[in-house]
Chain A
Amino acid sequence: MNTLSALRLFYDQVLAILGKDIRYELRSKQTWLGMGLFALLVFVIFNFAFDLRVENRAAVAPGALWVAFVFASLLGLGRTFAAEREGGSLDRLLLCPVDRRAIYLAKLLGNLLFIAVVELVALPVFAALFSISLFSGELLPIVLLGTLGVAIIGTLFSAMTAVTRARELLLPLLVFPLIVPVVIAAVRATGALMLVAPNEPPWLGLLVAFDVIFLSLALLTCSYVLEE
C-alpha cells in the first residue's frame, strides 16, 4: 500500500511538471515551431547537397531523415532547462519536495512530445519526397525509439549545460558522441525498410536495448545533475 501510494505520488508529480511544460509551450509556441521549420530546412539543404530523389533513396534517405531529426531535437533539448533558468523557475522547481527522477522523467516526456510534434510535420514531407508510405513496416516505431534514445541523453545533458554560458555549443559536443549507437541503429533500421540487406543484426531490438540501457543510466545519475 505504501509503495503503491508513493508510486501514485510520483506519477502525479511527473504529470504536474509535464502539464506545466505543455501549457507553457502552448502559450509561447516558440520551441516546436522553430524546431519544425528547422527540420524542413535541413531537408531543403540536404536536397542541394545529396539530390534527394526517389532513385537515390536507399543511399541518402535514412541519413537525411536522422540528421534532420537529431539536429532539430538538439535545438529543442537545449531549450528545456535553459528556458526554466532564464525564467528563474529552475531553482523553484528544484526547491519543490519532488523526487529528482520525477523532474527528469517529466522533462524527458515533454521533450519527446515536442520532438514528436516536429516529426509529425517532417515525416509526411519525407514520405512524399521519397514516396514511402508512412505506415510501411516499422517506420513509426523506429522513429519513436530513435527519438527516445536521443531525448534520454539530450535531456540529461540539457540539465547539465543549462548553467553554462556556451550551452548551445556544449550540448551537441556532449550528446553526439554518446548517441552514436542509437543513431547507427536508427539509420540502419530505417535503411532496411528501403533496401532489404542480408545478415543485418536486429536493429529494432538493439534500439530498444540501447534505450533501456540509457534510460536506466540516466535515472540513476539524474539526481546528481539536477542539484544546485
Chain B
Amino acid sequence: MAVINKTGSAHHELAAPTRRPPLPLVSLLLNALACVGMMLSIWAIFLYAPTDAIEGLSQRIFYFHVPVAWLAMLSFVIVALGGAVYLWREDERWDWLALAAAEAGAVFTTLTLVTGSLWGRATWGTWWTWDARLTTSLILWFLYIAYLMLRSYLGKTPTSARAGAVLAILGVIDVPIIYESVNWWRTLHPAAEIGTPGALPPSVVLVLMLALVSFTLFYGALLIQLYQMVRLQYLAWRLRTRLQVVD
C-alpha cells in the first residue's frame, strides 16, 4: 500500500518528469524475499516434507495448490475492496489496484484449477467432480474472466471502473453463497464427500506455512508490478488521446 500512496495524483504525473524516479525499494525487497522463500519452499517441498503414506508423491502438489488457491481468493477480496473504495473515494488509484489484482487473480485461479485437477486425477481417479470447493473455484474463475472482459469492453473510462467495482462487490458476497448452496445441493449425495485429512504432522504444517508465506510475498511483488503496469497503461492511453485531440 505504501508504494501506491507514493505515486501521487495522475494529473500531476502528466507533467514532464524532471527528476529520476526513486528506487522501488519495497518492490525489490519483496522480490528478494519471495525469491529466497521460493527456493526454500522448493527444497522443503521435495526434500524435507514427508511422503504421504496413502497418497504418495502426488500429495506434494498440495504445498503448491493451497497457497495458489489462497491467493486466488485473496485477490478477489482485493478486487472488491479496491472497487468499493473507488466508489466511495472516486480515486482511480484504487481502481488500478482492483484491475491489477483481477489480472493476478485470474492467473492464480487458473493455476488452482489446473493443480487441483492434476491432484484429483492422481488421487480420486477423476479430473473433475462437482464438489462445492471445485464448483466455487470454477465460478470464481468465470467471475474473474467476466470482470476482465467487462473492463476491456468498456475501455479505460470511469464507467468501466464503476461497473467493475459493482461486479466485484456482488461477486465477493455471492461466492460464499455459491459455496454454501452447492454444499446443500450436494447433501443428497454423501458419496461425493471427499478428502477428510486427519491431523497433519508438524513438518507438513511447517512446509505449508513456508510455502504460504513465500507465495504471498511473491504475490505482493507481482501485484506491485501489475499495479504499475496498469497505471502506466492508463497514463499512456491518456497521453495518446490528448495527442489525438491536438491533431
Which residues of A pack against B, CB within 8 Å? 153, 156-157, 160-161, 163-166, 170, 173-174, 176-178, 180-181, 184-185, 188, 197, 199-201, 206, 210, 213-214, 217-218, 221, 224-225, 227-228
Closest 9 A/B residue pairs (Cβ): A181-B181, A164-B153, A177-B142, A221-B166, A224-B162, A160-B163, A201-B184, A173-B146, A184-B181
- Chain B CB within 10 A, most for which of A166, A170, A181, A228: A181
Could you say which of B142, B150, B169, B187 contacts A199, with CB atoms under 8 Å apart?
A: B187
Known: A177-B143, A199-B188. A225 touches B181 (CB 8 A): no
Known: A178-B174, A181-B181. A173 touches B153 (CB 8 A): no
Tell whether B33 is near chain A: CB-to-CB under 8 Å.
no
Measured between alpha carbons, how far is A63 from B244 in the docked complex, in Å? 53
Tell whether B139 is near chain A: CB-to-CB under 8 Å.
yes
**Min CB–CB distance A171 → chain B (angstroms):** 10
- Residues of A contacting B32 with CB < 8 Å? none
Chain B window 160-171, contacts with chain A (Cβ cutoff 8 Å), 1 for yes, 0 for no: 001101110111
Measured between alpha carbons, how far is A225 from B166 in the docked complex, in Å? 8
- Residues of B contacting A214 with CB < 8 Å? 170
Known: A156-B166, A176-B142, A181-B174. A163 touches B154 (CB 8 A): yes
Known: A177-B143, A178-B174. A163 touches B159 (CB 8 A): yes
The residue of chain B having its C-beta at the shortest distance from the C-beta of A220 within the complex is B169
Measured between alpha carbons, how far is A185 from B139 in the docked complex, in Å? 16
- Residues of B contacting A170 with CB < 8 Å? 146, 149-150, 153
Q: How large is the interface on B (under 10, 10 to 19, 20 to 34, 35 or more residues)?
A: 20 to 34
Flag if B177 contacts A201 (CB, 8 Å).
no
Could you say which of B167, B178, B187 contacts A181, with CB atoms under 8 Å apart?
A: B178
Given A178-B143, A184-B182, 20 new contacts (CB under 8 A): A156-B170, A157-B167, A163-B159, A166-B153, A170-B149, A170-B150, A174-B146, A177-B142, A177-B143, A184-B184, A197-B188, A199-B187, A213-B177, A217-B169, A217-B173, A218-B170, A221-B166, A224-B163, A224-B165, A225-B163
Tell whether B185 is near chain A: CB-to-CB under 8 Å.
yes
Tell whether B87 is near chain A: CB-to-CB under 8 Å.
yes
Interface residue ranges of B67-121 to A (CB < 8 Å): 87
Secondary structure call for the A interface: helix
Secondary structure call for the B interface: helix
Measured between alpha carbons, how far is A157 from B162 in the docked complex, in Å? 12
Flag if B173 contacts A213 (CB, 8 Å).
yes
Interface residue ranges of B145-160 to A (CB < 8 Å): 145-146, 149-150, 153-154, 159
Measured between alpha carbons, how far is A213 from B173 in the docked complex, in Å? 9
Flag if B171 contacts A178 (CB, 8 Å).
yes
Which residues of B pack against A, CB within 8 Å? 87, 139, 142-143, 145-146, 149-150, 153-154, 159, 162-163, 165-167, 169-171, 173-174, 177-178, 180-182, 184-185, 187-188
The residue of chain A having its C-beta at the shortest distance from the C-beta of B140 within the complex is A177
- Residues of B contacting A180 with CB < 8 Å? 139, 174, 178, 181-182
Could you say which of A165, A176, A200, A217 contacts B170, with CB atoms under 8 Å apart?
A: A217
- Residues of A contacting B162 with CB < 8 Å? 224-225, 227
- Chain A CB within 10 A, most for which of B143, B177, B180: B177
Known: A180-B139, A217-B173, A224-B166. A173 touches B149 (CB 8 A): yes
25 contacts between A and B (CB under 8 A): A156-B166, A156-B170, A157-B167, A163-B159, A165-B153, A170-B153, A174-B146, A177-B139, A177-B174, A178-B170, A180-B181, A180-B182, A181-B181, A185-B181, A188-B185, A200-B187, A206-B184, A213-B177, A218-B170, A221-B87, A221-B166, A225-B162, A225-B166, A227-B162, A228-B159
